[in-house]
Structure 1
């Protein structure tokens, strides 16, 4: 694959599949969700090998180090070779653990839970949502 000397950040983020479209990548840069050394960057910023970018997509946070310049969007297996994901483990596990909380759902129209139902719900939660007392 031919590598370019100059490449815009919005095009790079689209090519390595961080964003689905180049417009979304450009909008993220304009909104300040893509940072270089803690500073906001414009979509026209030139990418250099070795730079580290912080990318925020919703509640997901990624830290990416540039290992190569990719001009055109390719398959995911090829795109992974052009960056290194150096996101801290704390951020990745925190993101994933949000989805492991017990989800309680009652059928619509069943009314309020009875005392027995409430006890079963509390047992199911296992103290997950209870406030912890300070010692």
Structure 2
């Protein structure tokens, strides 16, 4: 089975065309080599998928006959993605929300002055050492 079709069948991508584009961009590797969309996958292959800033690693256990339901996905693949990859994504999400909430607009003059004061304060602390 083609790698783009396989990733669509095991629900890593919503459509085959999105899976094909990911292959063309170089986000998919099979056994350590970049995969073209037409690359065949077989049971035992190691597939690495870069999606949403997470590097998923999975092992092909079997080739599905067609797209399977979410409950049946684990029959056809073994997910070996480390837990710290998901922790890294959570840290990225939290760091984006740290300073300003989404949709609050541009920083005000007071916000800008606070930022300038913070940078100067950090430089003064370095001089004391």
Same fold (TM over 0.5): yes
Q: Does the alignment pair 1:113 with 2:107?
A: no
Separation in 1 of the partners of 2:107 and 2:33? 52
2:3 matched residue in structure 1: 9
SS in 1 for 2:29: strand
**Deviation string, structure 1 residues 20-67 (Cα, Å, up to 9, x no partner):** 101111111122110023211111111111111111124122111111
2:40 matched residue in structure 1: 46
Give the C-alpha shift of residue 83 in structure 1: 0.7
Give the C-alpha shift of residue 14 in structure 1: 0.2
TM-score (norm 1): 0.71
Give the C-alpha shift of residue 107 in structure 1: 4.6
Separation in 1 of the partners of 2:105 and 2:51? 33
Q: RMSD of the TM alignment (CA)?
A: 3.0
**Deviation string, structure 1 residues 71-102 (Cα, Å, up to 9, x no partner):** 31122111232111101233222122212232
Higher helix share: 2
SS in 1 for 2:66: coil
Instruction: Map 1:1-135; keep pairs closer than 5 Å.
Output: 7-101=1-95, 102-105=98-101, 107-108=104-105, 111-113=108-110, 118=114
Q: Which runs of 4+ in 1 moved over 4 A?
A: 106-110
Please list every run of 5 or more consecutive structure 2 residues that lacks an aligned counterpart in the other structure.
Answer: none
Q: 1:113 to 1:46 in 2, by over 3 A?
A: same
Give the C-alpha shift of residue 108 in structure 1: 4.7
94-103 vs 29-38, greater mean Cα deviation: 94-103
